[in-house]
Structures are given as structure tokens and as C-alpha cells.
Amino acid sequence: MFNKVLVANRGEVAVRIIRALREMGIASVAVYSEADRENLHVMLADEAICIGPAASTESYLNMEAIISAAVATGAEAIHPGYGFLSENAKFADLCSVCNIKFIGPKANIIEQMGNKSEAKNTMRKAGIPTVPGTDEAIYDVENALKKAKEIGFPIMIKASLGGGGRGMRVAENESVFSDMFKAAQLEAKKGFGDDSMYLEKYIVDPKHVEVQILADSYGNVIHLGERDCSLQRRHQKVMEEAPCNAINDELRKKLGETAVRAAKSVNYENAGTIEFLLDKDGSFYFMEMNTRIQVEHPVTELITGVDMIKEQIRIAAGEELSYRQEDIVLSGHAIECRINAEDPEKKFRPSPGQIKEINLPGGNGIRVDTHIYNGYTVPPYYDSMLLKLLVHGKDREEAISKLKSALGELVVEGVDTNIDFAYDIVSNEDYINGSVNTGFIEKHFPEYIK
Ligand code: MV4
């Protein structure tokens, strides 16, 4: 096992990882930008090194500075958390060149899964169900229109390097297709410097269901069930839950086995997520593979009892998984609600500032993952997430009542937050009866979408 690990991240996920390291008896090294001197992760780590100015391009994305910090402190491994360098193949490669273990999959897998059309083709060839569509890159609009007519409308236009909704358009019919294609392609060219596109049949109001997998370096792969992450606003997840209420045990087994097969087909190693679109008729399609630990991993931890960060660290250290598939038993229902410093009344624009008053809920079945404290100043430079409020109940109904009660106790003053917006969502009748798909917020809260 490692003696010392560097955490190349900030905020709640850095805190989460440092705690896991401490529990495992591993020394932790925090890195921080000049804007994060007062961050909790800096205080909790055994050592902390400033890696640059506030701008993330010069600090949390500064590969040389981070590698240097690891070398200077004698850290044997780097945990990248989520975001920042977590899915950067070049960084994973640089770590291995410098003889530092990157806690994540191999660089070539990050690269392969980072290209969404390549990932889709890889999975299709491995026999994983994918949305019907084109399987070769398209660059010109005439060819695209020809292919679109073959597939049939409505069509989803996607950028090969897209993902998370960028470079994506829905074309309802032939007459709008060409303009939509050009717009998506221009966005892709500007956003990723690549104008390679692909087309898919458009699935109307699907559920976004993702399966958590763990894979060790001996070829053992298990799944930890699914999460329903359908509740999103502009491709930002708002709440996630597990298990998905639209999935029965038979479908769950099929999805889980499919996800394991997908991971095995690319010799995957470490924690990963296979995202599927779930259609109303129960058919599901591979969307993307996330090659990192995700924000919402704690909902899976709550219903399985598995500490996923510790498993990641063990896997990276060359140990075998601590669990076999038959050891994984799903228990109860968990929901995560992301609380951000943002103003829902002003298009959710970030609301940095000093926290003047805070009350975190607690009690049976409540978990709060956060780095904020009374007097902490939320800097304007990074993601605006303040905390993750998680609840675990015996069933969905109990989880919802816990979440409602906990949101009622939660106080964060000094910055604007989405606490009231979250409360409105969990009070919504369709949310309560489980009628949630990716169109939920647009349908029930259209005033917040504009
Ligand atoms: C789709 C789709 C419908 N049909 N693909 C959005 C981001 C990327 N992960 C894929 N996305 C979608 N792809 C086809 N063929 C609908 C979405 C989608 C979506 C997916 C997951 C969660 C929220 C979403 C919100 C809008 C659209």
C-alpha cells in the first residue's frame, strides 16, 4: 500500500479523499491555489503545497506544478478526484512517466472513452447496445442530411468530442436539420477544435441511468447497481438517487451485467461509470463512460456500504477488489441533492462570497459532504457547489421525507443558494411519485430554464 498520496483537487472531493487516506493510515498531501489558502482540504491534509495563482489553468490544471509537488513531498500516487485533471490522458501518462501512480484507469482508456463517438463504436463492437445512428464521422452537411433521412427524424446531432450536452442539437425534421447541423458543428469546432460529428435517433425524455463499476488490475469487475441522474438542469445534475425506481431486479441484473461486459471489453481498471439512456419501453443504450470517481458516488456508497474511494486506492496499489459480485447487496434508497452558491432567480449565476451563517442537518440517515464552514469565503474561480446533502432511507418515500426535512434544517447565509429550489422539487407531486425523466425541470419549472 502507498505511504503517501497527493490529492490533486479542492473542495468537498479533496476533503472526502483526505479522510479516506487518513482512515487507511496513508499520509495525504493537499495542493491549493492562492485563492484556496483557507480551504478545508488544506487544513485537513498532513501537508499542503501551493501550486499557483487562483486561475485553475495555472493551479489545479497545472500538470507540471502538481507533479513537482508530488516529487517534492515524496507522494507515490495522485488522486485526481473529479473534474480538473481527472480525465486528462496526458496527465495520467505524465504521472506514469514520472513513476507516480495515477489513481484511475490507464491513459489510453481515458483517451478512448473521452472521444464519445469512438467510445460508442468500441462498445457497439463489444456487443453493448447503442442508440441507432451513424458509425463513421461526418463532416459535411449534405452527407449528414442523407444519413439523417435514413435513420429517420427526430435526430440527435452530436459532436465526437462532445459529451455533457456540448456540441449537441435535436433536429425535429428535415427542414431544420441543415441549420442545426451547422450550428452544432461550429460549436464543436470552437469548443474542442474538432468538427467531427455523428448522428443518432433521438430518444424522447429518457431516463439517465448510470451503472457504477469497480475493476481491479487482475480482471475482476463488479457493479454496484445503478443511479438515476435524470434530474438535470442544462446538463447539470441537480439530484441523483439509487436505485432507479423504473428498474426491476431483472432489468437491473441485465444493466449491471452489460456494464461489467463493457468495462471488461476495454480491460478497464479502477472505478468507472457506464451511462445509459433508458427509454420508456425498458430498452437501454450505452451513452458515455466516465473514467473517474463522480460527484454522486456517495448515493451508491449509502445503498451498498462500499467505500468507493478506498476501493480506488486499493486497486491503484495493486490489490484485489475487497468484494465479489455476490457480496454486493443493495439496501434501502439514497438521494443526493447538490447545493450550490448560485441564484436561481438570476439564471443560476454563481454567487460567491463569505458564508455568514451555517447550519448543517444531521441525524439518522443523513450525510453531508462539504468543505464549507462558518466564515469561509466561496471564491469566484471554481465550481459553485457548496455541499452535497445525502439521505438514506428504507425506501424512496422515506428518503424523500428525510431529504425534505433535512433541506428544511439546512441554513447557508451570505451567498445565494438553490436550497429553496431543491425544496420545491422534492415537494413536487411528479417527483414524489417517481415520474422523473431528463425533461422534468423544463416541464415543471419552465421559468427556471430560460
Ligand atoms: C441523447 C438524448 C436523446 N437521444 N441521445 C445529453 C448529454 C449526453 N450525455 C447525452 N445526452 C442526451 N443524449 C439521444 N440519441 C438525450 C440526451 C439528454 C440528456 C441525457 C442525460 C441526462 C440529461 C439529458 C438532458 C437532455 C438530453
Ligand 1 pocket residue status of 287, Cβ below 6 Å: yes
CA of 291 to the centre of ligand 1 (A): 18
For the chain, give the percent of residues with pLDDT over 70.
100
CA of 231 to the centre of ligand 1 (A): 12
Ligand 1 pocket residue status of 158, Cβ below 6 Å: no
Ligand 1 pocket residue status of 132, Cβ below 6 Å: no
Instruction: Give, using CA atoms, the residue closest to atom 11 of ligand 1.
Output: 165
Residue 4: name the closest of 13, 15, 24 by CA: 24
> Which tens digits make up the pLDDT trace of 402-419?
999 999 999 999 999 999
Instruction: Give, using CA atoms, the residue closest to atom 9 of ligand 1.
Output: 164
Look at 301 and 163; give whichever has higher pLDDT. 301
**Quick one: cell of 387?**
455541499
CA of 234 to the centre of ligand 1 (A): 10
Q: How many CB atoms lie within 10 A of CB 286?
A: 22
Average the pLDDT over 66-93 and give the result: 98
Ligand 1 closest atom vs CA 230:
22
What's the rounded Cα separation, in Å, for the pair 155 and 224? 33
Indicate the average pLDDT of the chain.
97
Name the residue type at position 433: N
Q: pLDDT band at residue 25, thresholds of 50, 70 and 90?
A: very high
For residue 10, the model assigns a pLDDT of: 98
Average the pLDDT over 343-359 and give the result: 97
Instruction: Give, using CA atoms, the residue closest to atom 19 of ligand 1.
Output: 438
> Which tens digits make up the pLDDT trace of 317-331?
999 999 999 999 999
Q: Characterize the bridge pairing of strands 77-79 and 4-7.
A: parallel
Q: pLDDT band at residue 163, thresholds of 50, 70 and 90?
A: confident
Q: pLDDT band at residue 165, thresholds of 50, 70 and 90?
A: confident
Average the pLDDT over 290-296 and give the result: 98
Average the pLDDT over 79-104 and give the result: 98
Instruction: Give, using CA atoms, the residue closest to atom 27 of ligand 1.
Output: 438
DSSP category for residue 335:
E
Average the pLDDT over 360-385 and give the result: 98
What's the rounded Cα separation, in Å, for the pair 208 and 109? 23
3-state secondary structure of 227: strand
CA of 226 to the centre of ligand 1 (A): 17
CA of 289 to the centre of ligand 1 (A): 14
Is the pLDDT at 362 greater than 90, yes or no?
yes
> Which tens digits make up the pLDDT trace of 204-238?
999 999 999 999 999 999 999 999 999 999 999 99
**Quick one: cell of 96?**
506514469
Ligand 1 closest atom vs CA 133:
15
Ligand 1 pocket residue status of 232, Cβ below 6 Å: yes
Ligand 1 pocket residue status of 378, Cβ below 6 Å: no
What's the rounded Cα separation, in Å, for the pair 402 and 365? 8
Q: pLDDT band at residue 172, thresholds of 50, 70 and 90?
A: very high
CB 89 within 8 A of CB 108: yes
Burial class (CB in 10 A: 0-12, 13-18, 19+), 450: exposed
Name the residue type at position 91: F
Report the alpha-carbon angle 26-27-29, nearest 5.
135
> Which tens digits make up the pLDDT trace of 96-133?
999 999 999 999 999 999 999 999 999 999 999 999 99
For residue 449, the model assigns a pLDDT of: 81
Ligand 1 pocket residue status of 438, Cβ below 6 Å: yes
Specify the pTM.
0.97
Ligand 1 pocket residue status of 202, Cβ below 6 Å: yes
3-state secondary structure 228-243: EEEEEECCEEEEEEEC
Instruction: Give, using CA atoms, the residue closest to atom 22 of ligand 1.
Output: 208
For the chain, give the percent of residues with pLDDT over 90.
97
Is the pLDDT at 41 greater than 90, yes or no?
yes
CB 10 within 8 A of CB 39: yes
- The count of C-alpha atoms lying within 13 angstroms of the C-alpha of 382, restricted to the half-sphere facing its C-beta, is 26
Ligand 1 pocket residue status of 304, Cβ below 6 Å: no
Q: So which residues are the catalytic ones?
A: 292
